[in-house]
Amino acid sequence: MQVSQKSKETFDACRFCWMCHHICPIGNATGHERNTARARALSLSLVERGGLALDEEVSSNLYECALCSGCAHDCITGWDPTKFTKESRLAAALEGVLPPYINTLLDNLADYGTPYGQVEENAELSKAIAALPKTADVLLFLGADARALYPAGALNAIALLKAAGVSFTVLQDEPTDAYASNFLIGAAEETRAAMKRASEAFAPFQTVVCYDGTDAAAFLREGKEWGVVNAHIVTFPAYVVSLIKDGKLAPKKGSTAYTIQDCAYIARELDDDTSIRTVIDAIGERREMLVSGKATMLGGQALMATYMADVIAKVGARRMREAVIAGAEVVVTENVGEYLALSAAAPQGVKVVTLEEAVLSCL
């Protein structure tokens, strides 16, 4: 199997370790033993030792990981299972043993530039984008999830930046495949090429604001690490904080209590669990779940919902239960996948909103 020495060392460390068994949002939702860092590591260590073949079964289990880094964050001795999972996904792709549903997503990426295939864009969103200036200092990068799955969120994001008087635009033809490619096949040539395309598209802009935390994490982490993405990229919550600080947005602080669902990718991978809190503190009361901030538990995942919808629904339901115990009335999210899964699981009396929706309601 073509994986790095570091990955081999990591799966050899994880294969007999149970310490992060409790933290995996997927394992917690399915109850399946295979959905643990340790079981995944055990299977890969056996592949490495010739005791198991790297086949569709082993590789499908690699795709049952959300790469949320919950396990890595919890690991006191610093092992990171997401690394070997991503590298093994690429190894499985190179060996031609990917599950068919992953091949479909990859085909979609190749054919349409998004994993969701040919989706007709929401007319209102198309209109709103078309009405924006063609050139501006700031690029709002909406991402595939918002454009295909939650155009209302994209419209709200546009509305918020307009309300702040920001000179910005949105690309009609966004290079939306980098995050998905990175999630599906890691550091493959295709991913690097997608990152490069994104980087070229970002070049004319001073600042790129990533609406969705998943895209932001891919650009800011891998994109930078590989030296492919040089643009000044900020997450949407961090940008909203700067707009409030600069006085461009002046939300009125109300009495609504917001329970925060941290985006794992922003909180852990980009090390930022403060932006969303700064915004919430400016608009209302903050309510925390017991497991939150950098230790957050995933509440949904848009890409995975295409091939394991029932599991992602359970992930959302479990997280929503925690929010309810924490007294949630309004849950505020930072990415589309979590917004969708949590909204679907919300009981009567609990509302789920995206960050921009929350801020817009206070202007």
Partner 1 sequence: MTDFLFTMVLSELEDAVGRENCSTREIDKVAHSVDYFWLSRMWADRGYRMPEADVVVSPKDAKETSAVLKIANYYKIPVVVWGAGGGTQGGAIPVAGGIVLDTKRMNAIHDFNEQGMYIECGTGAIYKHLEWEANQRGYATMHYPSSLTCSTVGGFLAHRGIGVSSTKYGKIDDMVLQMEVVLPNGDIIYTSPAPKHAAGPDLNQIFIGSEGTLGVITKAQMRIFEQPESRKFRGFLFHNMTDAFNAGRELLQKFKPSVMRLYDEAETSSLIKKIVGVAKPGAFMNIAIEGVAELVEVEEKILLSTFAKYGAEDLGSEYGEKWWKEKITFFYPGNMMDLPQMFGTMDSIAPYGKIEKIYWEMKKAIETNFPQAKFIAHFSHWYEWGAMIYDRFIVEGKDVPTDPHEALRLHNDIWNLGVRTAIQHGGVVNDHHGVGIKLGRLMKEQYGSAMQVFYGLKKELDPNGIMNPFKLGL
Least separation, in Å, of the C-beta of 286 and partner 1?
Answer: 17
The binder of 68, among ligand SF4, partner 1, none, by C-beta within 5 to 8 A per type, is ligand SF4
Site for partner 1 in 262-321 (CB under 8 A): 290-291
Which token pair is 358? 């929350």
> Is 105 in contact with 303 (CB distance < 8 Å)?
yes
Among 70, 115, 300, 337, binds ligand SF4 (CB under 6 A): 70
* Residue 75 in contact with ligand SF4, rule: CB under 6 A: yes
Among 43, 182, 259, 261, binds partner 1 (CB under 8 A): 43
Per-residue mark of binding to partner 1, 56-85 (x: CB under 8 A): -xx-xx------------xxxxxx------
- Residue 262 or 357 having the CB closest to ligand SF4: 262
DSSP per-residue string spanning 107-125: HHHHHHSSTT-S-PPPHHH
* Residue 322 in contact with partner 1, rule: CB under 8 A: yes
Which token pair is 255? 């009495």
* Residue 19 in contact with ligand SF4, rule: CB under 6 A: yes
> Is 240 in contact with 263 (CB distance < 8 Å)?
no
- Residue 66 or 140 having the CB closest to partner 1: 66
Residue among 206, 232, 236 at smallest CA distance from 360: 236
Distance CA 276, CA 281 (A): 9
* Residue 95 in contact with partner 1, rule: CB under 8 A: no
* Residue 101 in contact with partner 1, rule: CB under 8 A: no
- Residue 79 or 205 having the CB closest to ligand SF4: 79
Least separation, in Å, of the C-beta of 251 and partner 1?
Answer: 30
Burial of 296 (0-12, 13-18, 19+ CB in 10 A): buried
Among 3, 7, 24, 108, binds ligand SF4 (CB under 6 A): 24
Strand order in the sheet with 330-333: 285-287, 257-260, 330-333, 351-354
Distance CA 163, CA 182 (A): 33
Cα 53 from chain centroid?
31
Please tell me the number of Cα atoms within 13 Å of 2 on its side-chain side.
12
The binder of 31, among partner 1, ligand SF4, none, by C-beta within 5 to 8 A per type, is partner 1
- Residue 4 or 135 having the CB closest to partner 1: 4
Per-residue mark of binding to ligand SF4, 35-54 (x: CB under 6 A): --xx----------------
Residue among 225, 120, 126, 214 at smallest CA distance from 176: 214
* Residue 297 in contact with ligand SF4, rule: CB under 6 A: no
Phi-psi region of 165 (alpha: psi -120 to 50; beta: other; left: phi over 0): left
Supply the Cα-derived Rg of the chain in whole angstroms: 20
Task: Write down the residue that tokens 């925390």 correspond to.
Answer: 288
* Residue 109 in contact with ligand SF4, rule: CB under 6 A: no
Q: Which stretch binds partner 1 (CB under 8 A): 38-46, 196-204, 208-216, 275-283?
A: 38-46
Helix, strand, or coil (residue 119):
coil
Distance CA 358, CA 355 (A): 5
User: What does the binding site for ligand SF4 look like in residue numbers (CB under 6 A)?
Assistant: 13-14, 17, 19-20, 23-26, 37-38, 65-72, 75, 79, 81-82
Residues that bind partner 1 (CB under 8 A): 13-23, 27-28, 30-34, 36, 39, 42-43, 45-46, 49-52, 55, 57-58, 60-61, 74-79, 290-291, 322, 325-326
